[in-house]
Chains A and B, each alone.
Chain A
Amino acid sequence: MIFLKLFIEFFKIGLFAIGGGPATIPFLMDIAERYDWYTVNDVTNMLAVSESTPGPIGINMATYAGFRAAGLPGGLVATLSLVLPSLIVICIIAKILDRFSKNMYVRSSFATIRPAVTGLIATAVFGIFRVAIFTTAEGKWQFPIYLVLLCAAFYGVMNIKKFKKLHPAVWILCGAVIGIIFKL
Chain B
Amino acid sequence: MGELLSLYFAFFRIGGLTFGGGLAMLPMLKHELVQKKEWVTEEEILDYYAVGQCTPGIIAVNVATFVGYKKRGVIGGIFSTLGMVSPSLLIVSVLAFFLEQFLSNQVVAHAVGGIKVVVCALMLQTVVTMVKKTVKNILGAAVLLIAFLVSMFLPFPTVLIVVLAGIFGIILYKTGRYRE
- Residue in B closest to A148 when the chains form the complex, CB atoms: B117
Chain A binding surface SS class: helix
Whether A144 sits at the interface, judged by CB under 8 Å, is no
* CB-based contact B47/A114 at 8 Å: yes
- Residues of A with C-beta under 8 A to B51: 90, 93, 97
* CB-based contact A116/B161 at 8 Å: yes
* CB-based contact A55/B15 at 8 Å: yes
Q: A82-B57, A89-B55, A108-B170 are in contact. Are A122 and B88 (CB under 8 A)?
A: no
Whether B2 sits at the interface, judged by CB under 8 Å, is no
* CB-based contact B158/A171 at 8 Å: no
* CB-based contact B125/A14 at 8 Å: no
Further pairs besides A108-B178, A111-B169: 6, Cβ < 8 Å: A56-B60, A105-B170, A108-B169, A112-B139, A118-B130, A124-B24
* CB-based contact B93/A116 at 8 Å: no
Nearest-neighbour CB distance to chain A for B19, whole angstroms, equals 6
* CB-based contact A56/B59 at 8 Å: yes
* CB-based contact B125/A158 at 8 Å: yes
Docked Cα-Cα span, A9 to B109, in Å, equals 32
| A residues adjacent to B (C-beta < 8 A) | 14-22, 24, 45, 48-60, 63-64, 67-68, 72, 75-76, 79-80, 82-83, 85-87, 89-91, 93-95, 97, 104-105, 107-126, 128-129, 131-132, 136-137, 146, 149-150, 153-154, 156-158, 167-169, 171-172, 174-180, 182-184
**Partner among B26, B88, B111 whose Cβ is within 8 Å of the Cβ of A55:** B88
* CB-based contact B111/A14 at 8 Å: no
* CB-based contact A60/B65 at 8 Å: no
Q: A18-B55, A55-B91, A110-B166 are in contact. Are A87 and B144 (CB under 8 A)?
A: no
- Residues of B with C-beta under 8 A to A80: 85
- Residue in A closest to B73 when the chains form the complex, CB atoms: A91
Nearest-neighbour CB distance to chain A for B46, whole angstroms, equals 5
Docked Cα-Cα span, A94 to B109, in Å, equals 39
Whether B5 sits at the interface, judged by CB under 8 Å, is no
* B-side interface residues, number (CB < 8 Å): 110
Of A56, A79, A83, A157, the most chain B CB neighbours within 10 A belong to A56
* CB-based contact A179/B89 at 8 Å: no
* CB-based contact B96/A67 at 8 Å: yes
* CB-based contact A63/B118 at 8 Å: no
Within 8 A of A (CB), among B48-65: 49-62, 65
- Residue in A closest to B112 when the chains form the complex, CB atoms: A52
Whether B107 sits at the interface, judged by CB under 8 Å, is yes
* CB-based contact B159/A19 at 8 Å: yes
Q: A128-B24, A179-B115 are in contact. Are A119 and B58 (CB under 8 A)?
A: no
* CB-based contact A45/B103 at 8 Å: yes
Nearest-neighbour CB distance to chain A for B60, whole angstroms, equals 4
Nearest-neighbour CB distance to chain A for B142, whole angstroms, equals 8
Docked Cα-Cα span, A146 to B166, in Å, equals 37
* CB-based contact B21/A20 at 8 Å: yes
**Partner among B62, B116, B131 whose Cβ is within 8 Å of the Cβ of A128:** B116
Within 8 A of A (CB), among B20-52: 20-28, 31, 43, 46-47, 49-52
